Amino acid sequence: MVAGRMENEDVYDGSLTESDDDFVKPTKKLKFDHKRKEVGAEVAGHIRIGGMRIRVRNTPHNMMDVIRALTPGQRKTVEEIGFSSMLSMNIKTVPTMLGYWLVINYDHRTSILDVGAKKIQITEELVRDVLGIPMGETEVRCVDRADSRFREITEWRLQFGADKGTYNVSYPIKKVKESGGNGRLFILNFLVIFATIMGRTTKGTTCTMSFLPALQDGVCVSSLNWCRYILNCLKETRGRWSTTEHYNGPLTLLAVCEAFSLIL
């Protein structure tokens, strides 16, 4: 078996105002129960921003929407493949000004998030601690071109009928909600949704499929290193981000790491 627009505002120093704070502090994994305390200027990040806001195409709200719609059987399958922490996810969005500040202060070369008062080394182990996803011994190997050469990609696409060319994340979300099944196709759909929303989306907001060949029939999903996969998504998307275009990487991860550091 197997996370905007840009506006001119005051210089942002890492603090959150009431109107921009819909992100709350984690008490365990992805379950957020308490309002975040305001972050003062003394913990300003290395780079201050002049009212810049990040632009994203997918938000964690879409992941929450799927989780809330899961049947008991589907929830059980999610637990069996090692993603039980996602079932308690309660993050609707990351404030856009905070998001810009986080991404601009993350150095993909050293994997350090500089929040001023401290430097957070984002490692596979930290990803495991804050997201609670499997950190198995087997690499999630991605292909350069996700096409019909790979049986797993063809298998996933066939459920939508004729080749649509591009596949928006709304497609697997709809399938999960309507089918109610919890077999192999459900697992593939759940992981495509997870990888697209929590990992990376394409610049055109289409589904991430490059990892699907790693999900050969019979593979144990929890034996795969999903923490390294998400970390690689973070490094690669940050390295290619121009600061003015939409960011297509794991913004939610950065926000949870920063919030998690406040309670350590």
Q: How far apart are CA 249 and CA 234, in angstroms?
A: 6
Residue 182's alpha-carbon distances to 63, 77, 177, 245, in angstroms, are 17, 6, 11, 37
Contact 111, 222 (CB under 8 A): no
Query: d(Cα 190, Cα 63) in Å, to the nearest integer?
Result: 9
- pTM of the predicted structure, to 2 decimals: 0.81
CA atoms lying within 13 Å on the CB side of residue 258: 30
Residue 166 vs residues 84, 111, 172, 254, 259: alpha-carbon distances, Å: 30, 32, 12, 28, 35
What integer best gives the mean pLDDT of the chain? 82
Do residues 215 and 221 lie in contact, with contact meaning Cβ atoms separated by under 8 Å? yes
Which two structure tokens, joined as six digits, stand for 91? 């993050």
Closest CA to 224 of 132, 142, 136, 141: 136
How many angstroms from the chain centroid is the CA of residue 8?
Answer: 27
- Ranges of the chain with pLDDT below 50: 1-45
Q: Which candidate, 61, 58, 60, 89, places its Cα nearest to that of 75?
A: 89
**pLDDT (0 to 100) of residue 162:** 67
Report pLDDT for 166.
82
pLDDT tens-digit readout, 174-204: 999 999 999 999 999 999 999 999 999 876 6
